[in-house]
Structure 1
Amino acid sequence: MRAELVAPHGPYSALDVVPTTRSTNADLAKAAVAGAADRTVLLSEEQTAGQGRRGRTWSSPRGGLYLSVLFRPTDVPAQRLPWLNLLAGVALVRVARSLEVPAALKWPNDLLLGSAQRKGAGILSEITAGVAQAVVVGIGLNVAPLPSDVQPAPGGLEPTSLADEGATADRNAIAISLLRELGALEAKWRETGGDPFASGLHEEYQQHSATVGERVRVELAGGVQLHGTAQRIEADGTLVVRAQDGTDHGVSAGDVVHLRRA
């Protein structure tokens, strides 16, 4: 993998694979504080304390693909950094579709696979505290058939994997493909100063969105719920939801539950 992905033959500065860790995101956040280079990659065969959004645990059984990448896009304005999360989703869709698995994205961080649109991957992007312009993008992708005891995601979203949806590629090949797609998307986005329109990222994300046009329930902080129809993704990556009274609300964070097509 290093031969294909690490400079001068690939887009990354360093790549390590470990048999197990608590969290690849937490490990790379520490490495960022210690001065790890831009575009450093960490993969683990297993995570014992993988995290999702809002501090939830992410089930990380062996046979999945668990990786994090440290990006230091110093020329990108801070308000555009949330697009790294959406960018990773586009990379996942490209990989799944290359394996002939139907794929779409549920804003802000879920990959939906197959005709039933079950959850096949989650993304967690975190700005590293105390380090300027350092973002760790973590991806947990279900590759092998899932064990029977994997629990549904928040909102009742059923889990699945690439293998469960008919894909046959091995995990190393999938990892290489995913990291290549991620590297290519991030480089183009960075070259445009993080502009989601000039880089083509906004258009491609919306094409893959399973959320835009959907009736949704958004579970916000403090137990607040917003019901409405998802309208579009804004320039800053927020989701615009039109409430039942016709007012538009920009949502920057929250759990989205799809209800039915509007």
Structure 2
Amino acid sequence: MTENKLDVLVLREQLVAPNGPYAALDVVDTTGSTNADLLAAAGDGAADRTVLIADQQTAGRGRRSRTWVSPAGTGAYLSVLIRPATVPAARLGSLYMVAGLALIHAARETAGIEAFLKWPNDLLVGPERKKAAGVLSEVASEQAAVVGVGVNITALPEGAEPGPGGLAAGSFAEAGAENTDRTEITASFLRAFAEFETAWRMVDGDIARSGALAGYREACGTIGQRVRAELPETEPLTGVAVDVDEEGRLLLKLDDGTPKAISAGDVVHLKAD
């Protein structure tokens, strides 16, 4: 069996200036968290569109400080530092949509699998819609943001734990991927992210004008689902997810008919009765 290694020379040749859109790209064997590393690098003056990829993460992070399983040689664990000078700080949070669309591209177009987005930041794959990727976007100082993704590409080790709400863990390979080459899937994501992020940046982070909102709505498997929203410091809410608005909030029609917009929390897709 051929080892499925990340080819840093191929990635640099395809993606780093003058041939590609990125200023720098490094691959390390292991690190705690690529997001944490680039947040530190941002303070040291790292360039716009700097990419850090790890073969393994020992302290990968998700939303709300959750850990992410990042075993060596199995996935794509990377972060991108961007410095969108004209984008208001209040709009930097919408980068999860940009990254989500790039994940959809990599999954559907390069791996050849069925894929959907679960609001706000999960990629679900295959007929069973298992979680194969997540996004973590963090704001750094000096008008900079770091966007990290963790993608399960090859088969997961036995005993992989489910995510919030019992969401089963999955991978591209387990969803029947036609292509599980880690270098190709990583490059596919990064090319798509640069394209979508450029459109987003050109309109100062306006997700509607950039097309990100329309693309996200099309790919979002949460819309139309009966869900339970588990929110910080309040009781859970149940209802039907009806849309995502121009601020990136999930719009619910609660069981009693009341409309509700939520901007943060865990959303569990409920099975039909």
TM-score category of the 2 structures, normalised to the smaller one? over 0.9
Q: Aligned residue for 1:170?
A: 181
**Native 8 Å contact 2:21 2:194 kept in 1:** yes
Give the whole-Å Cα distance in 2 for the aligned partners of 1:182 and 1:261.
34
**Native 8 Å contact 1:40 1:69 kept in 2:** yes
- Indicate which of 179, 192, 200 corresponds to 1:181: 192
Cα RMSD (Å): 1.3
Q: Aligned residue for 1:111?
A: 123
How far off is 1:77 after superposition? 1.9
Letter in 1 for 2:120: P
| TM-score under structure 1 length normalisation | 0.96
Q: Aligned residue for 1:204?
A: 215
Deviations 1:149-181 (A, max 9, x none): 210111111111111112233101111111000
- Indicate which of 59, 65, 89 corresponds to 2:76: 65
Aligned length: 260
How far off is 1:261 after superposition? 6.0
Letter in 1 for 2:113: V
Deviations 1:23-42 (A, max 9, x none): 00000000011111111100
Could you say what secondary structure the match of 1:221 adopts?
A: coil
Unaligned ranges ≥5, structure 2? 1-10
Does 2:59 match 1:49?
Answer: yes
How far off is 1:47 after superposition? 0.4
**Native 8 Å contact 2:126 2:175 kept in 1:** yes
Does 2:60 match 1:23?
Answer: no
- Indicate which of 188, 202, 215 corresponds to 1:191: 202
**Native 8 Å contact 1:81 1:194 kept in 2:** yes
Could you say what secondary structure the match of 1:90 adopts?
A: helix
Give the whole-Å Cα distance in 1 for the aligned partners of 2:257 and 2:200.
34
Give the whole-Å Cα distance in 2 for the aligned partners of 1:86 and 1:261.
27
Deviations 1:68-101 (A, max 9, x none): 0011111112222122111111110111111220
Give the whole-Å Cα distance in 2 for the aligned partners of 1:79 and 1:242.
26
- Indicate which of 232, 241, 249 corresponds to 1:238: 249
| TM-score under structure 2 length normalisation | 0.92
Could you say what secondary structure the match of 2:101 adopts?
A: helix
- Indicate which of 206, 229, 250 corresponds to 1:218: 229
Sequence identity (%): 52
How far off is 1:124 after superposition? 0.6
- Indicate which of 162, 165, 171 corresponds to 1:152: 162
Deviations 1:44-68 (A, max 9, x none): 0000011111111111112111000
Give the whole-Å Cα distance in 2 for the aligned partners of 1:187 and 1:216.
33
Could you say what secondary structure the match of 2:156 adopts?
A: coil
Give the whole-Å Cα distance in 2 for the aligned partners of 1:159 and 1:237.
25
Q: Aligned residue for 2:151?
A: 141
Does 2:256 match 1:256?
Answer: no
**Native 8 Å contact 2:217 2:244 kept in 1:** yes
